[in-house]
Amino acid sequence: MSTDKPTLVNRDAKVVIRPWTGSNEPVPIVSASGCTVTDEDGRTFLDFTSGYFVNQAGHCHPNIVEAATAQLKAVTQVSGRHTTPPVVDLAERLTEAAPDPISRIFFTTGGSESNENAVKMARQTSGKTDILCIDNAYHGLTGGVLGGCSAPKYRATSGLPDDEVVRRFFRIPAPYCYRCPKQNDCATQCLDGVEATVEARPETAALLAEPVQAVGGIVPPEAWWTRLDGIRKKHRLLLVLDEIQTGLGRTGTMFAAEHYGLEPDILTVGKGISGGVGALAGVMASDAIASEYYGGTTPTSAGNAVSAAAGAALFDTIVSEGLLANCSAMGRYFTEAVEALDDPWVGDVRFKGLLGGVELVSDRESREVLPGELVGQVKETLFGEGMLLTVSGPHKNVLRLQPPLSITSKQLDSFVDALKRTLEITRSTAG
């Protein structure tokens, strides 16, 4: 009988349900600091997942640790009928930074739940039922928003016939300019049929969209948002912005709505708003919508005081450490450095701040998608080089590279060197 102590991964595999893991996952992370995480065997990785796009100021930032620790000794959890100082602190910061006319927040325990509430709010306010979404969108996997998710593999998780899942949702094309059949710059022809589509659905309550799509880092041109926003206003659709991933500085502004001058009626937040401490998210709305809202989802753990204290500390740290400016500068630096490799497999490098990644192709001229097997090899080789990342995108060929907003050019250089070696090795072994 083996006397070897089981590894954390072996123990995890026996007792934890993980529907979405791939090779080399889960990594048994035992400590983390700044932009790096360390595994059970002492191996250190540069974290391009930021704890799934949560730790904007880096892992275990001293300001956040201090705020959360102090709050642990004061009060942790109260009923949603009551309040605590950090909950109000965080709500004030978020509403102050949010685009007009957003002025209130309902705290939840996660992004999907926030979008559930957003959809409820839109329906309650408008008295209508249907929700217009964008292809390639991800809004969470709970029942009430699953229909808004573009990928069939996600909708299939419901175990229901797809037409039932999508019944109240419909979609229009994504502004995926790199693969735009018109190759335009940007005449927004992809929106030509949208008015007719909306007119055919008079029961539409709202447009639910991410300002910049997180899956594959799809960055809409300004003209696209201007035209779509005009259409939705003309047809009196509420604007529900999902800023769960773009919010808290990820695109170089506190909220990505700023890039496009959007004025959402409802806005959802998650991820970074807990500063990485516990599960906290929220749905924000104008006074008019918030004051009429009833029901919510009565989340037991929402508004946890420790999470809120950590979130407020993260918010303040983003400001005091100039992380928005660093995010924009590093996004540009990263883009230029990867483009400078001039690698035949690098099809598109797109970042808005530090949201985005590198789209891999087997041929730059035809833009043929690099086969999944080779994308997988690239990811694994990068993992061997100490780079922690995921792959995303409509064709699953985008290296998603979203480090903490505190990343340095030196750290990015080490990734770019590793990417250069990785692409060359993978190409040579692929024959």
Shortest spacing between CB 139 and ligand PMP, in angstroms: 5
Under 8 Å between Cβ of 119 and 130: no
Buried b (16+ CB within 10 A) or exposed e, 172-211: bebbbbbebeeeeebebebbeebeeebeebeebbbbbbbb
* Nearest-angstrom CA–CA distance, 358 and 373: 16
Shortest spacing between CB 71 and ligand PMP, in angstroms: 22
Cβ-based nearer residue to ligand PMP, 61 or 139: 139
| Among positions 34, 58, 99, 140, the unique one binding ligand PMP when judged by CB under 6 A | 140
Collapse the DSSP code of 374 into the 3-class scheme (helix H, G, I; strand E, B; otherwise coil) and give the result: helix
- Cβ-Cβ contacts under 8 Å for 204 (sequence gap 6 or more): 128, 130, 131, 132, 198, 235, 237
Do you find a cis peptide bond into 180, omega within 30 degrees of 0? no
Cβ-based nearer residue to ligand PMP, 210 or 229: 210
Query: Per rule CB under 6 A, is residue 343 in the interface with ligand PMP?
Result: no
Count of residues that interact with ligand PMP, criterion CB under 6 A: 14
| Among positions 58, 111, 299, 331, the unique one binding ligand PMP when judged by CB under 6 A | 111
118: left (phi over 0), alpha (psi -120 to 50) or beta: alpha
| Among positions 177, 244, 289, 388, the unique one binding ligand PMP when judged by CB under 6 A | 244
- Strand runs labelled E in 102-242: 102-108, 130-134, 169-172, 204-209, 238-242
Shortest spacing between CB 288 and ligand PMP, in angstroms: 24
Shortest spacing between CB 112 and ligand PMP, in angstroms: 3
Cβ-based nearer residue to ligand PMP, 155 or 377: 155
| Among positions 245, 304, 377, 402, the unique one binding ligand PMP when judged by CB under 6 A | 245
Query: Per rule CB under 6 A, is residue 214 in the interface with ligand PMP?
Result: yes
Query: Per rule CB under 6 A, is residue 348 in the interface with ligand PMP?
Result: no
Shortest spacing between CB 148 and ligand PMP, in angstroms: 9
State the angle between helix axes of 305-320 and 62-72 in degrees (0 to 180), rounded to the nearest 10: 150
| Among positions 45, 106, 107, 138, the unique one binding ligand PMP when judged by CB under 6 A | 138
Shortest spacing between CB 429 and ligand PMP, in angstroms: 33
Cβ-based nearer residue to ligand PMP, 20 or 30: 20
Residues in the chain: 431
Query: Per rule CB under 6 A, is residue 55 in the interface with ligand PMP?
Result: no
Span from 7-15, 94-102, 107-115, 363-371 in contact with ligand PMP (CB under 6 A) = 107-115
* Nearest-angstrom CA–CA distance, 9 and 351: 33
| Among positions 86, 110, 264, 357, the unique one binding ligand PMP when judged by CB under 6 A | 110
Q: Which residue is nearest to ligand PMP (CB)?
A: 111
Span from 132-140, 159-167, 192-200, 411-419 in contact with ligand PMP (CB under 6 A) = 132-140
Cβ-based nearer residue to ligand PMP, 115 or 397: 115
Shortest spacing between CB 336 and ligand PMP, in angstroms: 26
Under 8 Å between Cβ of 265 and 101: yes
Under 8 Å between Cβ of 120 and 111: no
DSSP 291-350: HH---TT--TTTT-HHHHHHHHHHHHHHHHTTHHHHHHHHHHHHHHHHHHT--TTEEEEE
Shortest spacing between CB 244 and ligand PMP, in angstroms: 4
Query: CA separation (Å) from 232 to 194, 263, 264, 416?
Result: 10, 12, 11, 41
| Among positions 47, 116, 229, 242, the unique one binding ligand PMP when judged by CB under 6 A | 242
* Residue that the structure tokens 């094309």 belong to: 173
Cβ-based nearer residue to ligand PMP, 346 or 355: 355
Span from 16-24, 63-71, 118-126, 136-144 in contact with ligand PMP (CB under 6 A) = 136-144
In this structure, the strands spanning 390-392 and 398-400 are antiparallel
Which spans of this chain sit near ligand PMP (rule: CB under 6 A)? 110-112, 115, 138-140, 210, 214, 242, 244-245, 270, 281
